[in-house]
Structure 1
Amino acid sequence: MKFDIEKIRADFPVLTRKVHGKDLVFLDSAASSQKPKQVVEAISNYYLYEHANIHRGVHLLSQEATSKYEDARKKVASFINAKNDHECIITKGTTDGINLVASSLGEHCVNEGDEVIISHMEHHSNLVPWQMLCERKKAKLKVIPITDDGELDLEEYEKLLSEKTKIVSVVHVSNTLGTINPVEEMIEKAHDVGAYFVVDGAQAVPHIPVDVQQLNCDFYAFSLHKMYGPTGIGILYGKESIMNAMPPYQGGGDMINKVTLEKTTYNDLPHKFEAGTPNIAGGIGMGATIDYINEIDWKAAHEFEAEVMDYAHKKLSEIEDLRFIGTAEKKTGAISFLVGQIHPYDMGVLLDQLGIAVRTGHHCTQPILERYNIPGTVRASFGIYSTKQEVDQLVQGVERAKRMLG
């Protein structure tokens, strides 16, 4: 199937709007991708004609909503090749999933003197929860350094691993640098010392194939809003045997089996970790998102997007005084750069006036900026709807901003 970019773009009505009188060039998909009308219509239809609470009702609307919500879980389990759909916990997003693991698995297996390993390129969502855990448990947080190119130092990683290592948690694709980390290899080495491995997959799932069984990760967290789905919904995949041994993260409705005033017993997976009325509309939107992805040629979409990103690297590299932050051999999704002494915020404001939406600042990765001794970056990030023509507009915008600010 040929990848029809114009047909894809027609599914995203926002791409037709004007910003400051200019055609919108949306290059901020790493923060949150745009949503196809098929997903929006599924959510709207639920609220207009199908709304009811799930899992508890005997009436038709409740049963229909429950069926759609649970079908979405099955669809996403198939999408990432989970062994069982009940290994997919529906969360508020990647941050929620990582906090769940840190608060539940962390309390279960980390003790005073133990060690947790993260990397220098983590999003704050995969850093702060582990800092909090280590403070609570009097454990030690160790950090895998990164090279000047923005790649993990794997030799140092091996040196950090020991019998004290209980959990390793690493980003699959950096949201700032675009680096694709060799997590499959890293997972094997962590398992060799008996450690659990958690993957922050927020930036990976939209851009590269993810097979959790092939990776053999213990946990994999991601968000739907990064991959053309609604906000406020995500998935935490976890191996059944591990999650069965973990205590619940929150207490409340739906995560219980039986409640008395004296004692409560807990529900089976996945409901043990899904307390309270969930984001039902988001769950139904998640199902519609997977349907949309399955209806297009996802492999061809990835190839087209990679072609656009390669083109962007080439064209941006021709701009005098532009330097890339992160030059890893394997990258996807995002390009970070600076131009001369121009502050990234000033560049972002001027690009916005030209209708070009990029992200500026620290991207919730302040340790990376400290590593490179910079105040922030300009980040252009891509989706399946991004085009080479938009890259040309970005390059022209950067050149214009450079003339005005330089």
Structure 2
Amino acid sequence: MTRHDQRAYVRIGGMELQRRLGAGDAVVIGLGSMIGAGVFAAFAPAAHAAGAGLLVGLVLAALVAYCNATSSARLAAIYPASGGTYVYGRERLGEFWGYLAGWGFVVGKTASCAAMALTVAAYVAPPGWQPAVAAAAVLALTALNYFGVQRSAWLARVLVAVTLVVLAASVAAMSGLPHASGISFDGSGILQSAGLLFFAFAGYARIATLGEEVRDPARTIPRAIPIALGITFVVYAAVGIALVVTLGPALASTSDPIAQAVPGWLAPAVRVGAALAALGSLLALILGVSRTTFAMARDGHLPRALSAVHPRFGVPHHAELGVGVVVAILVTTTDLRGAIGFSSFAVLTYYAIANASAFTLGARVIPVAGLIGCVVLAFSLPLPSVIAGCVVLALGALAYWLSGIPRRGARTPGP
């Protein structure tokens, strides 16, 4: 990495983002992305697919996530620019593959933003008010992001701390309850459970997509990603084991497993914690989607107006406002709970391209393992999610070839 790459600002076409985030901020943003609403909801569908086998699925999901994180960290150290795999695929594989990664990320994570906002509303609002509360949450966090990424990192730190306290109290309380019995181990559903649980691990990409706003990215990003992932796996493993032992077969049929598993006096705190965790996930998702939107707009794949950077706050404010408005409209018009599988498929496609990009750097065992893992988990998801994901990716590819944007090939294989 040259001194030129380490400067306080990254200049691309005259548009700049300011480097304000340190290693601690990057880890917290990654934790806020991963230790979010997924830990409160993802275990139930995973148990429905595999029973007690979800614990094996959790390990598989973590292994694939580790491969993806390692590939992403190596690439982010070389290309510390907003956009994550959109940039890596473009630089290592060619314009089309970068575009496809960016398209999958923006579309899939926009759906995830709406799902997280609806999760917040489900925990704090009566049914009739949920769409309005979800939209208000989206707009409030969009406004926070508009005034600078440091404020967003500060809020993420608070939300992560609250979520970890709630989860620690929940696991401690469950350890003192009678153990359930009779939960089955369905080996045939392990891969599907891994694909569903992978959704909750995918937040470490948010660190890479903030590459232009991290100080000393060559050191910070490779350190922050595995640290955030390791902490998340320990938390998920503790919660998963406690839920399997405490709820048994009932785990597969509840929509709020942690609240159901803890003693009644703790359930209200769990519900508040779940809402705050969903807010943390939503905050980080909006950050990541807006940065990838910014990068794609800067290259002409989306409207150029979305590449504007605020002269005072140093953030891509048009991209953030655009993402916020789209998500706010979605939560008021659509029930997106079924979009989680689609989002998982799109995100696994994104990471498959990241691993293929890392393959060109050498040291190829981890990229190959990550690529195979992404493909296997993606096509192990429920069939409707696979079909929807393939259709949306195909539409994005068609739009690319019809756009008439000048093409360029991949850069030379060397770093």
Fold agreement, TM-score > 0.5: no
TM bin, normalised by shorter chain, reads: under 0.3
Give the helix-richer structure, 1 or 2.
2
Q: Given the two structures, how large is their TM-score scaled by the length of structure 2?
A: 0.24
Give the strand-richer structure, 1 or 2.
1
Q: Given the two structures, how large is their TM-score scaled by the length of structure 1?
A: 0.25
